[in-house]
Structure 1
Amino acid sequence: MGYLDAASTEPLHPAARDAMVAALDAGWADPARLYGAARRAQMLLERARAEVAELLGARPDEVSFTSSGTQAVHLGVLGSLRGRRRAGDRLVAGAVEHSSVLHAAEVHERDGGTVETVGVDLLGRVDAGAFAEAVSRPGTALACLQTANHEVGTVQPVEEVTAACRAAGVPLLVDAAQSAGRLPVPPGWSVLTASAHKWGGPAGVGVLAIRKGVRWRSPYPEDERERAPGFENVPAIVGAAAALRARAEEEAAEGPRLSALVDRIRAEVPRLVPDVEVVGDPDHRLPHIVTFSCLYVDGEALLTELDKAGFAISSGSSCTASTLRPSHVLEAMGVLTHGNVRVSLPRGVSEGDVDRFLAVLPDIVRRIRSTLGVH
């Protein structure tokens, strides 16, 4: 199987596996207790917290672990809005944010808040000027912007937006799920979220970092004082920290290699397949993601045929792939939404995997089109 869906889940890094196996024996106890086994678990937990904090540019006491990146986003958005109710009820977000941000925004609206969505250009980049204007309006409590888009890979102008938020006195939540471990985390954020399985850590570990001085109040019941209450999965958190460290150390070599393979796919797909639109910024992008859309092709049929040919690939939004709804990202960009394919290259993917994908794709698209009477 050629696995080309790393934007959904990066395969478990060997460093994570080794760290988790070691921590299963030493970190099984409840780190909140006082006996010896619990203290050992607590030591492992705090060591992992310090490592993740260092790699993300935070202080250890600013970092909490959640059960997923989605939970981290929900807690970050709703908790920040709740903590800043006296400042206002306006939320500003980019139009191509991950669905977890948009769903939290819908909850905020249902509770009486207001949401302003800032549009993007054809490459999927948010309009920094429009974003700055939006956050400067009275009553803005929070702004949200991803570091890079999860579907098309376009890097967002986080530093420009950060400066605008700072000038307006508005905290900025930065969703770094796709870029953590691949690109440096932009400075100046107020709240940061990430997800371990995107960088080769185990599934079930999210990161929520909240800067000191940022007002935040839990959306959970009043007696829950922790940001993410519950029993931490210490072995998984230890594995997540080990994977993030390893991924960051490998990126100097692996990032350019993957980026060159993506450049090849971007160039070859429209040459080999007629009526194809490659989307996203060709230059200012994540190193491992390329997305294209095929006219006269059903996306689900295309994925099914690629699966039969031995390729695991996603189409459109990873959170709406099982529905008939078009990708909100592609719609916001104003580009073709039909027959969409997101190729995302995992660590260690070979040039041969890319060669094989490019070899089978044209015939698969031709056969699907022929069933619809398109030649």
Structure 2
Amino acid sequence: MTSEPEVYFDSASSTRLHPAARDTLLAALDRGYGDPRRLHGAGRDARLLLENARAVVAECLDVYPDEVSFTASGTEAVHRGLLGLAEASGRRGVVHGAVEHSSVLHAAAWRPHPSTSSIPVDRHGLVDLEALARAAMAPEVGVIALQAANQEVGTRQPVDAVDRPAGVPLLMDAAAAVGHGPLPRHWDVLTASAHKWGGPAGVGVLAVRRGTRWSTPFPGEDTPESPGFPDVPAALAAAAALQAVLAEAEELGRRQFAWIDEIRATAGALPDVEVVGHPTDRLPHLATFSALYVGGDEVVAELARRGFAVASGSACTASSLEPSHVLAAMGALTHGNVRISLSRDTTDDHVRALCAALGDVVLGIRRRAGL
């Protein structure tokens, strides 16, 4: 094992806490302990902090503050958002892209319905818009779910180009895309997760546009907000991180896009390696490739020994041994998959060192296996 500090290339899973979030969190711990529903001083303080967090997130997402709710995770935001739309309409059918996050797939399958359908994607992971429009015409379809960008391969989806019937709302999972460039605008419900942009874990965002019919699908009050006691300091820290990340997103995105181009070219030059995801219409910080004759876990482990923390997209969740449903839907190689995602701390030297190691690692594993 290397004695050098680990270089983190797994920001698509979770990021380090942004300095703005850390400072805000520590400051808010002394004031945000009260129940914001109470009328005493501590409650009023907590309510003020929570409303400040809501206002900042709303400004960052270009929505109204009363459209923003906080949940306990991005997954809960998806579940509450999607199932709440179906609950309000009384129509249980869900039309979704085949490469959506597992939280969308699980919510859609929770109450099976004949009108629920998974829409195919092309080899880059782009959804078939014509097939999606046809499926959404079914009378029992109550929700369309289409992500802003894919969490495994980075491909951006054409959310604003979706042709949908009147009265069928669209939920956009923006967890992978927030903080990495402009978001699509033609959605009714947006979900996101703070730990993806440098906020603390345990904070999800559920934005429901005014005029959208939504009803709680779970026990509790009829509000998109998570039931129970809110984590006010964490919400405020998440808002501070989002504001800081967006301020640096354009410049950072340019650097990251060029670095990812370099990583994609390096991986693509190796024999029997397939680089997946759209080459240009993609997130700036994420690259994924699949290699024949090696296991993704082998590559991850060998890179870890050399001081690089990367991920394998060979499973749709960390606890699953099933091949990635994203790669399978794209018709891509599901074996030997590696995902590399850059952070705000990534440097040119980090990228150069990783590129220098990729060939040695992949070819070395094959050589040791006698290939």
Classify the TM-score, shorter chain: over 0.9
Amino acid at match of 1:343: I
Amino acid at match of 1:150: Q
SS in 2 for 1:77: helix
For the 8 Å contact 2:96–2:119, the answer to whether it is kept is yes
Distance 1:176 1:249 in 2: 18
| 1:2 lines up with 2:7 in the alignment | yes
Distance 1:263 1:367 in 2: 24
Q: Taking structure 1 as the reference length, what is the TM-score of the superposition?
A: 0.94
For the 8 Å contact 2:115–2:140, the answer to whether it is kept is no
For the 8 Å contact 1:314–1:321, the answer to whether it is kept is no
1:1-375 alignment, distance < 5 Å: 1-85=6-90, 88-109=91-112, 112=113, 114-161=115-162, 164-165=163-164, 167-221=165-219, 223-227=220-224, 228-271=226-269, 273-316=270-313, 319-374=316-371
Distance 1:371 1:95 in 2: 36
* Offset, 1:301: 1.5
Gaps of 5+ in 1: none
For the 8 Å contact 1:8–1:318, the answer to whether it is kept is no
Amino acid at match of 1:23: A
Distance 1:5 1:33 in 2: 40
Distance 2:160 2:174 in 1: 13
Distance 2:315 2:252 in 1: 24
For the 8 Å contact 1:315–1:321, the answer to whether it is kept is no
* Offset, 1:270: 2.2
Deviations 1:290-344 (A, max 9, x none): 1000110011111111111111111116752343211000000001111100100
Distance 2:345 2:92 in 1: 45
For the 8 Å contact 1:135–1:168, the answer to whether it is kept is no
Gaps of 5+ in 2: 1-5
For the 8 Å contact 2:115–2:141, the answer to whether it is kept is no
Moved over 3 A (4+): none
Percentage of identical aligned residues: 55
Distance 1:360 1:187 in 2: 40
Distance 1:233 1:319 in 2: 29
